[in-house]
């Protein structure tokens, strides 16, 4: 029995494309399609393992990137006016429009947070941090990438067998929250305990995503591609969770 997952944290293929462009510091108007297509496929492989309900949108985008990649590699016919439309133009237009809306949403959220701090009395400023490099919040796709690496490392060492795991996700959520209560923070990989079956790994990962969405836990890292550290969030963890997150 497999998980069928429909979480609102998966914002769609344009969100993933924009993340790849930002992470690799690529000019949005001059996207290297071949490189981005390969990276997009790596994330798609992980999403297919998780079995996200809306993964079809990502498959369509992967097909679009593959088509653009082939068109970029094929010899281009000479046109009379010497000008040829860039096959990436429509994709760039969609990304630019999506980025404008996403930036506007982020600005509105920032202004809402600033407005919310105008009435309460502010605490005294904290002393300047010293010592190790401060951690930065991670994005959804950082977690997906880390989970993909963990899948490759753990499943490669395990005998391949079909196992049925009907454990509700809220059980994994309670287990993760309980383990974090006993320590300041833990690396992401240590939240996954054996046996390392695919369904069990997916269950833990979805539990982490749901806890992150509820701000019950925080995921941070000190450098790109570095270890992701997970700790309890500022809000109290919920003792009762939605049981409809159980596998169907």
Calpha distance 109→19 (Å, rounded): 19
Calpha distance 28→95 (Å, rounded): 8
- pTM, entire model: 0.56
> Rounded to the nearest 5°, which phi and psi values hold at 51?
65, 50
What are the 10-residue block averages of pLDDT along the chain, 248 residues in total?
Answer: 49 84 83 87 83 76 86 66 71 88 85 70 62 65 83 68 74 92 88 84 89 88 80 62 41
Task: Give the tens place of pLDDT for each residue, 44-65.
Answer: 888 877 766 667 788 888 888 8
Question: Any idea which residue has 């309460």 for tokens?
Answer: 120
In 3-state terms, what secondary structure has residue 139? Answer: coil
For the chain, count helices (H), then strands (E).
Answer: 7, 4
Calpha distance 118→111 (Å, rounded): 11
As to burial, measured by CB atoms within 10 angstroms (0-12 exposed, 13-18 middle, 19+ buried), residue 3 is buried
Q: What is the mean pLDDT of the chain?
A: 77
């Amino acid at each position: 029995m497999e998980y069928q997952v429909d979480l609102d944290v998966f914002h769609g293929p344009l969100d993933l494309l924009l993340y790849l462009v930002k992470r690799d510091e690529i000019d949005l108007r001059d996207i290297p399609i071949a490189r981005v297509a390969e990276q997009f496929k790596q994330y798609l492989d992980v999403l297919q393992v998780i079995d996200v309900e809306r993964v079809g949108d990502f498959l369509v985008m992967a097909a679009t990137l593959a088509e653009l990649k082939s068109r970029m590699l094929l010899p281009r016919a000479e046109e009379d006016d010497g000008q040829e439309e860039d096959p990436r133009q429509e994709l760039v237009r969609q990304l630019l429009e999506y980025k404008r809306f996403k930036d506007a949403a982020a600005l509105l959220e920032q202004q809402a947070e600033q407005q919310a701090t105008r009435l309460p009395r502010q605490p005294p400023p904290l002393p300047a941090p010293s010592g190790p490099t401060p951690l930065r919040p991670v994005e959804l796709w950082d977690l997906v990438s880390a989970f993909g690496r963990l899948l490759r490392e753990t499943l490669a060492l395990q005998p391949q067998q079909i196992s049925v795991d009907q454990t509700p996700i809220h059980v994994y959520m309670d287990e993760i929250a309980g383990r974090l209560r006993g320590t300041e923070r833990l690396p992401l990989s240590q939240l996954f305990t054996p046996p390392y079956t695919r369904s069990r790994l997916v269950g833990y990962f979805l539990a982490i995503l749901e806890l992150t969405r509820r701000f019950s836990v925080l995921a941070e890292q000190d450098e790109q591609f570095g270890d992701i550290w997970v700790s309890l969030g500022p809000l109290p963890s919920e003792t009762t969770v939605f049981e409809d997150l159980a596998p169907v």
